[in-house]
Amino acid sequence: MNFELNKSIEILERTPEVIEVLLSGLSQEWVRSNEGDHTWSPYDIVGHLIFGEKTDWILRIKTILSESDNKLFEPFDRFAQLKENQEKSIDELIIEFKEVRIENLNRLKSLNIKQEDLNRTGIHPEFGEVNLKQLISTWAVHDLGHIAQISRVMAKQYKSEVGPWINYLGILNK
Amino acid sequence: MNFELNKSIEILERTPEVIEVLLSGLSQEWVRSNEGDHTWSPYDIVGHLIFGEKTDWILRIKTILSESDNKLFEPFDRFAQLKENQEKSIDELIIEFKEVRIENLNRLKSLNIKQEDLNRTGIHPEFGEVNLKQLISTWAVHDLGHIAQISRVMAKQYKSEVGPWINYLGILNK
């Protein structure tokens, strides 16, 4: 597939609801268990998605499209959610994620991005020049990666319960 | 986590709606593209889930709980969906999956499974004796595995679009 803005938005606008259906009202054991030391629970992952909305994607898009000469992106703290108040419920996090995502997609649409804008560039703090098309593609793929991760983390909670089927269930061996 | 029937049902009852939110109304390119020769598209995966509902899970549960001495499971055709009419829309498949899953969960609940039933066994055609707890755990993990797979297959459609971010997106390298 070649990049298209509208097809990227199709993914981005679905993610909060996918996560709501997956996690809302689910037992705490599914929501708060992880894959072991220094790994994330579904709860942590939703927190990470919220931080991305607040501090990463749309700000970087604006940096690329700005008239300023400073095209350097701010580094993104991928662990910020672990320092946050852990008392919020998963449903509170999901509502927050839905709100910030809708707001950011409205901002994205209001930027009125044209085909020629997709090749405009910014500077990533680690790997240098990237363009707008790559950034928006990554935003969508990042969503899908974390949906897959949430599914995997939940699946692993039953790793010792599936018995001999473990060899048929690739997700338990990732 | 230890197996609990209710916590397994929490997963099983969410899956059709997760898939509906992920795929319903999405562009055909997202729905019908796969990861290369002999791999499945999201469309194929939903077809596979329907076949599991019709020919696998609940029938095996009934075999385990039956009074018959024949505890051997029928082999499951994991490729049956590829021989089906491919003209149905993804929305038709999703509706079908929702219906058969609801029906099977109603059957599951009506079996009134007790704690001691969870250790009753059947014979898998390939790896022999398995118990009811392992079978129902596998049903839930199988769902989560295919949700992760759908997300991965979609993510891979943008593999060449993300540029240097490819090294940060683990899902593109699975």
Q: What is the pLDDT along chain B (174 residues), one digit of tens a residue?
A: 999 999 999 999 999 999 999 999 999 999 999 999 999 999 999 999 999 999 999 999 999 999 999 999 988 888 887 888 889 999 999 999 999 999 999 999 999 999 999 999 999 999 999 999 999 999 999 999 999 999 999 999 999 999 999 999 999 998
Which of A30, A141, A163 is opposite residue B172, by nearest beta carbon?
A141
| Residue B157: strand, helix, or coil | coil
Candidates B137, B143, B152, B172, partner chain A, best to mutate (most A CBs within 10 A) = B137
Distance from CA of A88 to the nearest CA of B (A): 22
State the fold for domain A5-173.
Four Helix Bundle (Hemerythrin (Met), subunit A) (1.20.120)
The answer to whether residues B138 and A167 touch, using CB atoms and an 8 Å cutoff, is: no
Distance from CA of B17 to the nearest CA of A (A): 7
The DSSP symbol for B79 reads T
Asked if the C-beta of A115 comes within 8 angstroms of chain B's C-beta atoms, the answer is: no
CB count within 10 Å of CB B77 equals: 13
Long-range contact pairs involving A87-91 (C-beta distance under 8 Å, separation at least 24): A90/A23, A90/A24, A90/A26, A90/A31, A90/A42, A90/A43, A90/A46, A91/A24, A91/A25
Nearest CA in chain A to B20: A18
Digit-coded pLDDT (tens) for B83-118: 888 899 999 999 999 999 999 999 999 999 999 999
**For A44-131, where are the E strands, in sequence order?**
121-124, 128-131
Work out whether the CA dihedral B59, A171, B92, A12 comes out positive or negative: positive
Going by C-alpha positions, the residue among B16, B34, B12 that lies closest to residue B149 is: B34
The answer to whether residues A113 and A100 touch, using CB atoms and an 8 Å cutoff, is: no
In this prediction, residue B80 carries a pLDDT of 83
Going by C-alpha positions, the residue among B78, B26, B129, B85 that lies closest to residue A140 is: B26
The answer to whether residues A3 and A53 touch, using CB atoms and an 8 Å cutoff, is: no
* CA–CA distance, A92 with A88 (Å, rounded to integer): 6
Q: Which residue has the tokens 């090749």?
A: A119
Chain A positions in Cβ-Cβ contact with residue B18 (cut-off 8 Å): 18, 21-22
Pair of tokens at residue B68: 């018959």
Work out whether the CA dihedral A145, A146, A148, A149 comes out positive or negative: positive
| Mean pLDDT of all residues belonging to chain A | 96
Question: What DSSP line would sit under B6-74, residue for residue?
Answer: HHHHHHHHHHHHHHHHHHTT--HHHHH--SSTT---HHHHHHHHHHHHHHTHHHHHHHHHSS-S--BPP
In this prediction, the answer to ipTM > 0.90 reads: yes
CB count within 10 Å of CB A41 equals: 19
